[in-house]
Amino acid sequence: MPKSRWWVSESGAIVPSTGLAPVLRSPAGMTFLRQKLGESGEELACRELGARGYAIVARRYRTRYGELDIVARDGDFVVFVEVKLRTTGEFGDAAESVTPWKQRRVVAMAVDYLSRNGLTDRPCRFDVVAVDIQDSGVPKVTVIPGAFALS
């Protein structure tokens, strides 16, 4: 099966790559197009979470351990959401890419967020939003509440 490559157009649409796009890199080393594709996945995730009644509190919250994609409220819960977008199934689907190492990092960032915001007495949950780009280019958004727990 040939690799599908996707990128985000200026209008924000996810479209197939022609292979002619320039490779621009951000200071962190991530290609500009890949960074834009990630932002597009986060936008799709926020829309889906909002439709499910979540209140988005923060996006791209930076800590010394890394960046939380989305912090939200769902009822009494503070929800830390990891967004994963995949454009091919070559290495598994998006949900499978949240490894135990990444889970530990998200937990460390969540503890930092809770303590800095005086929310250590609030219940929290770790959700994953998986965005898999179908061969047709249509994104499939899957929300996995309670995808992993504190360990």
Query: Which tens digit of pLDDT belongs to each residue from 72-97?
Result: 999 999 999 999 987 766 666 666 77
Give the Cα separation of 102 and 148 in Å (integer).
Answer: 11
Residues 6+ apart with CB under 8 A from 109: 61, 63, 65, 66, 67, 68, 80
Q: Residue 49: phi, psi to the nearest 5? A: -65, -45
Q: pLDDT over 70 for what percent of the chain?
A: 74
60-73 average pLDDT score: 94
User: Given a cut of 60, is residue 120 above it in pLDDT?
Assistant: yes
Domain locations in the chain?
A: 6-148
Answer whether CATH 3.40.50.1390 is correct for domain 6-148: no
What's the whole-model pTM score?
Answer: 0.77
Q: Tell me what pLDDT residue 132 has.
A: 84
Q: Tell me what pLDDT residue 82 has.
A: 95
Higher-scoring residue by pLDDT: 143, 27: 143
23-33 average pLDDT score: 54
Q: Are 126 and 106 in contact (CB under 8 A)?
A: yes
User: Given a cut of 60, is residue 17 above it in pLDDT?
Assistant: no
Strands (E), the chain: 6-8, 14-16, 55-63, 66-74, 77-86, 124-133, 139-148
